Amino acid sequence: MTDYKSKVHNLFATMNFIASEKMRFYGMVTWNKAESALDEVQMPDLAEISALTGGDLVENQDYDFTNMNSYSDLDYTLFKFNGGFSYKLSPTMTFTFDGEYADLTDDQGYVFGNESGSYFMIRSGFNINF
């Protein structure tokens, strides 16, 4: 058959700072590097297997995996940063505000091609406990 090799490195740091009884700041930085590769697929000879077993174990079809190893390599770097704050308005209601930035660099186009890109998102809202 074939071997699939994978290497993943992940680093992250988090921060949580309580500035007062009502206000809290938080954040995280993440870096992820992943590489994976599939060796060339070696399919067994079906005619040989049929001769040994005395019959067809697998339907006779055209199984072609010759190019699978060329488009199955994975190599990307992901960097993410997020942070925000929360402010307690009352014992049951908290206002939150945070943002996130992510950047994905695809060093090896995977099955669907180059997937590089980045985004920036801002969120805010209220958390109500009852």
The candidate with the shortest Cα–Cα distance to 111, out of 81, 46, 67, 53, is 67
Residue 83 has pLDDT above 90, yes or no: yes
Q: Out of 13-27, 60-74, 84-98, 101-115, pick the least confident.
A: 60-74
Q: Which residue has the tokens 């307690």?
A: 88
Sign of the torsion angle spanned by Cα atoms 76, 3, 40, 59: negative
Q: How confident is the model at residue 114 (pLDDT cuts 50, 70, 90)?
A: confident
Is residue 85 included in any domain, yes or no? Answer: yes
Banded pLDDT at 94 (limits 50, 70, 90):
very high
Q: pTM here? A: 0.68
Query: Does residue 49 fall inside a structural domain?
Result: no
Q: In which region does residue 114 sit, left (phi positive, over 0), alpha (psi from -120 to 50) or beta (all else)? A: beta
Question: Mean pLDDT throughout 60-71?
Answer: 67
For 79, the token pair is 């960097």
Range of the domain at 11: 4-39+74-128
- Look at the chain and report how many structural domains it folds into: 1
The more confidently predicted of residues 59 and 40 is: 40
Pairing between strand 4-18 and 117-128?
Answer: unpaired
